[in-house]
Structure 1
Amino acid sequence: MKQTVPNPANISNGLPENSIGLSNPSKVAEQMVSVPLRNTARPEPASHFFAVVPDVDTESMLCHASETLASLSVMATDLARELEGPRRHVILAIQQLSALSELLVNRALDNLHPPVGLSEK
């Protein structure tokens, strides 16, 4: 079996040259601050691929959110029918959370435009 031996030229005080030593906190802080904040070689996370058009009105966004949550609830219910045991309980919990979220979004829609025929208090 071949062993890798460190190059003595790259070692000072027992630490590799590019390691951060804890003996000098100001040097550690300087190295941490000088790290680039954005790595341009790394691709952006998937959440940066999707965006909402800036001038979309609140009612439209809430309507789409409500429909999306209703679809999620139906998909989770269908999946729960195929599962048993702990996995079924997890998917049913996800279904409940999506149903509760849909109720909240629908209430927000009602608050924007109360249904016709209801008197305001």
Structure 2
Amino acid sequence: PDTADEYLLAHACESLASASIMASNFAGHLEGPHRHTAMGLQQLIMLAELAVNRMLDNVDIQKPSPHS
């Protein structure tokens, strides 16, 4: 409960980036429809990573300046 939102978002972004790489590597070992499915999953993970990264950017923007 005491963990900062920025930390949670950064951790989620890093986890999604790792999952994207793992899915891409796994897809490289597949052929045909199974490869297409794995690549589709990799793209969904990447889109989630982009959304979390964007949210992290928004949180950073909303931080008050140290002089306020």
Which band: TM-score by shorter chain?
Answer: 0.7 to 0.9
For residues 80-119 of structure 1, the aligned pairs below 5 Å read 80-114=27-61
**1: CA distance, partners of 2:48 / 2:16:** 7
Identity fraction in percent: 52
2:4 counterpart letter in structure 1: D
TM-score (norm 1): 0.49
Q: Which residue of structure 1 lines up, in the alignment, with residue 65 of structure 2?
A: none
Task: Mark the structure with the bigger radius of gyration.
Answer: 1
Query: Deviations for 1:22-56, whole angstroms, at most 9, x for unmatched residues?
Result: xxxxxxxxxxxxxxxxxxxxxxxxxxxxxxxx211
Aligned pair count reads 61
* RMSD between superposed Cα atoms in Å: 0.7
**2: CA distance, partners of 1:106 / 1:67:** 9
Q: Which residue of structure 1 lines up, in the alignment, with residue 13 of structure 2?
A: 66
**1: CA distance, partners of 2:11 / 2:49:** 10
Query: What SS does the corresponding residue of 1:82 show, helix, strand or coil?
Result: coil
Structure 2 gaps of 5+ residues are: 62-68
1:72 counterpart letter in structure 2: A
Structure 1 gaps of 5+ residues are: 1-53, 115-121
Query: What SS does the corresponding residue of 1:113 show, helix, strand or coil?
Result: helix
Q: Which has the higher contact order (CA 8 A, sep 6+)?
A: 2
Q: Which residue of structure 2 lines up, in the alignment, with residue 39 of structure 1?
A: none
